[in-house]
Amino acid sequence: MRTYDAIFIGAGQAGPFLAARMASMGRKVALIEQKYLGGTCVNAGCMPTKALVASAKTAEVARRSSEYGIKLAGEIMVDMTAVAARARKVTEDARNNLTSWFEGLASMDVIFGQARFVAPKTVSVDGEHYTAPQIFINVGARPHIPDVPGLSDIPYLTSTSIIALEELPEHLVVLGGSYIGLEFAQMYRRFGARVTVIERGAQLASREDEDISEAIADILISDGIDVLRNHELVSVGRAGGGIVVRTDQGEVKGSHVLVALGRQPNTDDLGLEFAGIEADRHGYITVDDRLSTNVEGIWALGDCNGRGAFTHTSYNDFEIVAANLLDGGDRKLSDRILGYGLYIDPPLGRVGMTERQAREAGHKIKVSTRPMSRVGRAVEKSETKGFMKLVADYETDRILGAAILGTGGDEAIHSILDAINLQATTETLRWAVPIHPTVSELVPTLIGDLKPVG
């Protein structure tokens, strides 16, 4: 039995930073990782996928170069081997940087292997036992593979395996019209594949307001993507040298299929029952407002607690626990204002409540929208798809939420995110003097156009 001050299970975007913080204070810590340092973000999420998005954007700009007065000779060609290699290098560089950092921490041991609880404060890795008074679970999540007839009989792709793909699919069929699936759909369309998205619901990106979802669909359709909504999956099978996806409304034949139907936590092989740790019916570990589980001295951070599915929320979990355990703070999950992005092109930046959520919460609201075609910066860049939207409380004038679907939307949204965190009113933000020409400069204009809605 090896004893530590703290044990961290999983090397994602929360645990390692807390482990390093404790190690820098002289505490003896163990970081246990089954496969790769960096978690989903570094290895199968943000970093490689946004590298691929950048390659796809470059291909699209090259195709449109004549619109900007630039002439390119010959057909635009995409080298998928080089594209995949670039994304792989981004991942490997980040992973190697983490390795170098951790090797410099004298009181931190990095242990590779599958961790499993054998008692409330004891875990086993390849027959070795480790114990600590404090244990932090940061095991992340993986693509959910539903029980669709025939799916297990074909070589399907997931958001993890498609990153390493070095060939261009002739026809990529994407199962699922949510954030991950939409990014890959547009990306591979721009690489040159034919793409079909199949969504069971009436909306793409269903958590968004209907007007935002429709604008997203319009953007993808304008890129030449076939978008099928209200299609219930029936089965998947082989068709000649490809695949066929059958729905309640017909069938789609393709060369490759990407399963993008949600994610599930990596908690099913942790032996949570041997530690008495509670989880919900989906496998997400139950935590309180300070990320503690029901077992004293054990915390769950990141995707596996079901309280945030993003790199930045995972990192914020680290910040909350570090503040409370190490700095005498009293930070809570319920204080977090959620923001996120959808990285199609143009991107969606979102923060706070949607219009629908604000209504459901009982707010009397006022709303403002502005098409990107009336944003100078977008016009100058010839990127006028999408629109901006702001939602505020009619009675208190507090900003409730916003969406910017348009060029630079993932960056411009931060002015509103900061304002919400500062509990600013629209009247306060209205008199800011933003830089011209930017997308953010239209926020005061949005505020000036706010109107009450029933």
Domain range annotation of the chain: 2-143+264-335, 151-261, 346-452
Task: Please say if 256 is a catalytic residue.
Answer: no
Instruction: Decide: 166 and 81 in contact? Cβ < 8 Å.
Output: yes
* pLDDT value of position 120: 93
> Which pLDDT does position 454 carry in this prediction?
79
Burial class (CB in 10 A: 0-12, 13-18, 19+), 100: exposed
Helix H or strand E segment including 300: strand 298-300
Domain spanning 346-452 has what CATH number? 3.30.390.30
320: DSSP letter = H
Q: What percent of the chain has pLDDT over 70?
A: 100
| Per annotation, catalytic residue among 129, 144, 414, 436 | 436
**Count of Cβ atoms closer than 10 Å to residue 199 Cβ:** 24
Domain 2-143+264-335 and domain 151-261, same fold? Reply is yes
Q: In this structure, which CATH number among 3.30.420.40, 2.130.10.10, 3.50.50.60, 3.40.50.40 belongs to the domain 2-143+264-335?
A: 3.50.50.60
Plot region of 48 (φ>0 → left; ψ -120 to 50 → alpha; else → beta): alpha
Are the C-beta atoms of 31 and 6 separated by less than 8 Å? no
Q: How far apart are CA 183 and CA 55, in angstroms?
A: 13
How would residue 244 be classed by pLDDT, with cut points 50, 70 and 90?
very high
Query: Residue 296: is its pLDDT beyond 90?
Result: yes
* Tens of pLDDT, residues 62-78: 999 999 999 999 899 99
Q: What digits encode the pLDDT tens for the residues 216-227?
A: 999 999 999 999
Q: How many CA atoms lie within 13 A of 430 on its CB side?
A: 15
3-state helix, strand, coil in the chain (%, to 5): 35, 25, 40
Q: Which residues are CB-contacts of 74 (< 8 A; sequence separation ≥ 6)?
A: none
pLDDT attached to residue 104: 95
- How confident is the model over 75-92, as a mean pLDDT? 97
| Residue 401 to residues 179, 211, 390, 397, 415, Cα–Cα distance (Å) | 19, 15, 6, 12, 12
Question: 3.40.50.410, 3.20.20.370, 3.40.50.620, 3.50.50.60: which CATH number matches 151-261?
Answer: 3.50.50.60
Q: What's the pLDDT at 9?
A: 98
The pLDDT of residue 8: 98
Whole-number Cα distances in Å, 203 to 200, 315, 345, 389? 9, 30, 18, 18
Q: What gap in Å lies between CA 359 and CA 353, rounded to an integer?
A: 9
Look at residues 82, 343, 305 and name the one whose alpha carbon lies nearest to residue 187.
343
Paired tokens of 246: 């059958």
Number of H helices and E strands in the chain, helices first, is 13, 24
**What pLDDT, on the 0 to 100 scale, is given for residue 224?**
98
- For 18-38, what is the mean pLDDT? 97
Round to whole Å and give the CA distance between 231 and 249: 6
In this prediction, residues 236-241 reach a mean pLDDT of: 93
Model pLDDT, residue 225:
98
| Averaged confidence pLDDT in the chain | 97
pLDDT in tens, 380-431: 999 999 999 999 999 999 999 999 999 999 999 999 999 999 999 999 999 9
d(CA 128, CA 132) in angstroms, rounded, equals 14
State the pLDDT confidence band at 82, using cuts at 50, 70 and 90: very high
Cis check for the bond before 346: say yes or no (omega within 30 of 0).
Answer: yes
Vertex 262: Cα angle to 239 and 38 (nearest 5): 110
Could you give the CA distance from residue 71 to residue 160 in angstroms, rounded to a whole number?
A: 37
Confidence label for 330 from pLDDT (cuts 50, 70 and 90): very high
